Structure 1
Amino acid sequence: MSDLATKWGVDESRFWLHGRMPQETVRFDEQTGLWNVYGHAEALAIFADPATYSSDTARVFLADSDLDVGDSFDGNPVVMDPPFHGRMRKLVSRAFTPKTVAELAPRIAALTHELLDDVAGRDRVELVSALAYPLPVIVIAELLGVPAGERDVFKGWVDKIFDSDREVSLESTEEQRQDIEEGLEQARELREYLRGHADERRRAPREDLLTKLVEAEVDGQRLSSTEVANFANVLLVAGHVTTTMLIGNTLLCLDADPDADARLRADRSLLPSTIEESLRYMSPFASLYRATMTEAEIAGQRIPKDQLLAVRIGAANRDERVFERPHTFDPGRDPNPHVGFGHGIHFCLGAPLARLEGRIALDILLDRFPVLRADPEHPPTFLPSPDLTGVKTLTLLSH
């Protein structure tokens, strides 16, 4: 297939699309102060050892900052370590089991048809706004019990949270401080919105995830409204961002490989493996971060305590030691041990839902549109954050 970075003029420094894992699987970057981890085995080892590699990265990232983060991280399972992380995760784990998720299939299919009905008959369709964004955000909003009709408001908040195109760095600059402040402000607005819904559930419980969080107890204590809101915030944001990128990325890959597109249209049993290869080839969350709790050794490199590690998922998923022809999109790849959903205790809770949404949406798209190809007059645009791999807009010709 043609190289996506070359075809669409993407900056080659965006390593998730163009570029290769360096010879060293672990490399210290003096400019940013980060330890970059590129290897697949090294990523697995880090994710499997939360006692050494903590998810509470703010402890290091904001160590010398005078920023007031307040209660921004209270109740957020993404930045928690054991044992509290496991107790928080258990609160909603039943909502994301394969069996529970499978029961959502009819609703996901109905929503997909409904959204595509709105663009039926058009010569070109902007896929992200038509389907890839609204579908997963409606599903997760309905699960939580917040109004899915307010999805445009959610999108405004989330876009601003991920709007910066700057690399994470321990070198404090005014620009980075401004980015952090703006991100915290957007997260705060979304949190206040969700806190209002949490308070309402205390007065009038319903059959939804938000009520379950409000009524749950951890170590004999109810969660505060702030903890509920931060937890719900993660579910709402992570519950749709990954799937939005997954759907768009898969279609972009199929556009660049007409043979793969033709095979998939002829044999839909290839959909699951096509989705897995998309998660590997264009990993939605291209980087995850950890902080060392003690001195550690990775790939022969001694890393002191209280250092910030950037685990480059996009590079690990192209590790030549693990993946044959790693820079080739191969929908039939087997085995495919990618880490697109992470690994260990922080493995993406919503992975079964994201896979199901992607499979159903893509299957229906292929049924309803015999032709879907990227519009050269309206080339795709990409999310600005170097930690995310996904299209921001993707205009497709449907005839």
Structure 2
Amino acid sequence: MSDARVNFLDPAVRAAPHLVYARMRRESPVCQIDPAGIWAVTRYEDVMTVLRTPEVFSSEGSAAAFSPPWLDRNPLLGAMNMADPPRHGPLRALISRAFNTATIHRLEPLLRQVAAQLVPPMLERREVDLVHDFCQHIPAAAMMALMGLDPAHGARFLAWAKDFADLASIALDENRQSEIRTDLREMEEYMNGLLEERRRNPGTDVISDLIRAEIDGQKLTHEELMSFCFLLLPAGIETVTHQLALMLHMLMTRPELQEQLRAARSLLPPFIEEMLRYDPVAQGLFRMTTADTTLGGVNIPKHSIVMLVMASATHDEAQFQDPERFDLDRPGPQNTVFGHGIHFCIGASLARMELRVALEELLSRAAIVPGVEPAQWRLSLAVRGPAVLPAEIRAV
């Protein structure tokens, strides 16, 4: 590659990043990128090395990525995904109890109903934005049900979720920065009220479960509960919204694959797994070096922010045969999109269920083709997906 740094927030890179990632794996698998001179790690083995050595690559890098200088306060920074051992273990043990199989099964009928109800209005309009009209509503319904939130405030929850994804975009004008600061203060006030209400009147939601939960007499503090609320709501909405949009974008451009899935629902799980490899929403996980270290033959200074480019690791030719081919029968290494080891995503099973249900309900009722206008892509280091996905929808 040339000496010029790749800008990961260049709209052209966000729209079609895999050629850039492939070149980086060949020529500079560990290197600095723009914005901000972050260190990018693009090969599978190097990514796994970082994930397996939290003592050298601290999860505090995630906190740094979501705490830009213009943001005065962010309760998210105490969340478990930004904690290292030994603090991480007790937090995860308490929180994991809320993400059991029974909870996921309980949510499926609700999400199926939500997805089914979204399709008829789209069929009436014909020309739709699949992100706004379909994708965002399934994970929003899941998070509201899981946390016991009032659906009347759904628009606020969606706006807060977008704010958190935008924190990792770095290139925001002053008006957007001011808007995010105001929104996060509003979200903190809302969540404080929610926690107080659940303490007085506990229910069957995950927040009530976490308030009650104990391990060896230890409970989550108010600050830890607040951090979890700030993590769960936006992460649960944004990631599934954009992963679903990426899947629908693929199906619009591959009508034969769309028909294949419509004819055989049994192919949906392998389709979801291959999409999580082929075009994952999670572009990067962030870490911070605790000491000067060497990775892939490159020296990285202490206190550097390191971005694990997950979407590149899942296309690494050294691990995946013919990685640019979309293959429903693909064998291969474990998918890294949900992380690895102590930081494996506790919501992975829930996310897979949401994606499956949304696809089943939409494809059983409608065919989708590209709209007149092209997709518009999110400009974020953390997630990649269409911000707007124009489509024409037809009954089947």
Q: For this structure pair, what is the TM-score category when the shorter chain's length is used for normalisation? A: 0.7 to 0.9
The alignment status of 1:27 with 2:31, answered yes or no, reads yes
Q: 1:94 to 1:227 in 2, by over 3 A?
A: closer
Q: 1:285 to 1:293 in 2, by over 3 A?
A: same
Q: Cα distance, 1:296 vs. partner?
A: 2.6
Within 5 Å, give how 1:1-399 maps onto structure 2: 11-12=12-13, 16-21=17-22, 22=24, 23=26, 24-29=28-33, 32-57=36-61, 69-70=72-73, 72-73=75-76, 75-163=78-166, 166=169, 183=180, 185-217=182-214, 220=217, 222-335=219-332, 337-369=334-366, 371-375=367-371, 377-399=372-394
Distance in 1 of aligned mates of 2:333 and 2:266: 16
Please list the CA deviations of residues 86-139 of structure 1 after superposition, one character each: whole Å capped at 9, or x if unmatched.
Answer: 211222213323454234322221221122244343323322222210111111
Q: Cα distance, 1:279 vs. partner?
A: 1.5
| SS of residue matched to 2:339 | coil
Distance in 1 of aligned mates of 2:319 and 2:143: 34
| 1:42 counterpart letter in structure 2 | D
| SS of residue matched to 1:57 | helix
| 2:189 counterpart letter in structure 1 | E
Tell me if the contact between 2:76 and 2:230 (Cα under 8 Å) persists in the aligned partners: no
Distance in 1 of aligned mates of 2:174 and 2:169: 11
Q: Cα distance, 1:147 vs. partner?
A: 1.0
Distance in 1 of aligned mates of 2:364 and 2:169: 40
| SS of residue matched to 1:11 | helix
Q: 1:62 to 1:94 in 2, by over 3 A?
A: closer
Q: Cα distance, 1:355 vs. partner?
A: 0.5
Q: Percent identity?
A: 30
| SS of residue matched to 1:96 | coil
| 1:88 counterpart letter in structure 2 | L
Tell me if the contact between 1:127 and 1:394 (Cα under 8 Å) persists in the aligned partners: yes
Q: Which residue of 1 aligns with 2:6?
A: none
Q: Cα distance, 1:278 vs. partner?
A: 1.5
Which structure dedicates a bigger proportion of its chain to helix? 2
Q: 1:62 to 1:110 in 2, by over 3 A?
A: closer
| SS of residue matched to 2:98 | helix
Please, what is the CA RMSD of the aligned residues?
Answer: 2.9
Q: 1:91 to 1:62 in 2, by over 3 A?
A: closer
Q: 1:357 to 1:166 in 2, by over 3 A?
A: closer
| 1:163 counterpart letter in structure 2 | D
Distance in 1 of aligned mates of 2:111 and 2:135: 12
Q: Cα distance, 1:71 vs. partner?
A: 6.2
Task: Could you tell me which runs of 5 or more consecutive residues in structure 2 were left unpaired when the two chains were aligned.
Answer: 1-9
Q: 1:182 to 1:249 in 2, by over 3 A?
A: same
| 2:190 counterpart letter in structure 1 | Y
TM-score using structure 2 length: 0.86
| SS of residue matched to 2:315 | coil
Tell me if the contact between 1:36 and 1:309 (Cα under 8 Å) persists in the aligned partners: yes
Please list the CA deviations of residues 326-376 of structure 1 after superposition, one character each: whole Å capped at 9, or x if unmatched.
Answer: 23333332236331112221111111011011111101111101x21111x
Distance in 1 of aligned mates of 2:305 and 2:173: 16
Distance in 1 of aligned mates of 2:121 and 2:218: 46
Tell me if the contact between 2:368 and 2:393 (Cα under 8 Å) persists in the aligned partners: yes
Distance in 1 of aligned mates of 2:86 and 2:33: 32
TM-score using structure 1 length: 0.85
Aligned residues: 382
Tell me if the contact between 1:133 and 1:244 (Cα under 8 Å) persists in the aligned partners: yes
| SS of residue matched to 1:214 | helix
Distance in 1 of aligned mates of 2:375 and 2:148: 33
| SS of residue matched to 1:20 | helix
Q: Cα distance, 1:165 vs. partner?
A: 8.2
Q: Cα distance, 1:60 vs. partner?
A: 6.3
| 1:378 counterpart letter in structure 2 | E
Tell me if the contact between 2:40 and 2:309 (Cα under 8 Å) persists in the aligned partners: yes
Tell me if the contact between 2:292 and 2:300 (Cα under 8 Å) persists in the aligned partners: yes
Q: 1:167 to 1:131 in 2, by over 3 A?
A: same
| SS of residue matched to 1:236 | helix
| SS of residue matched to 2:281 | coil
Q: Cα distance, 1:146 vs. partner?
A: 1.2
Distance in 1 of aligned mates of 2:329 and 2:292: 41
Distance in 1 of aligned mates of 2:361 and 2:201: 38
Tell me if the contact between 2:122 and 2:133 (Cα under 8 Å) persists in the aligned partners: yes
Distance in 2 of aligned mates of 1:59 and 1:139: 25
Q: 1:129 to 1:62 in 2, by over 3 A?
A: closer
Distance in 1 of aligned mates of 2:252 and 2:34: 39
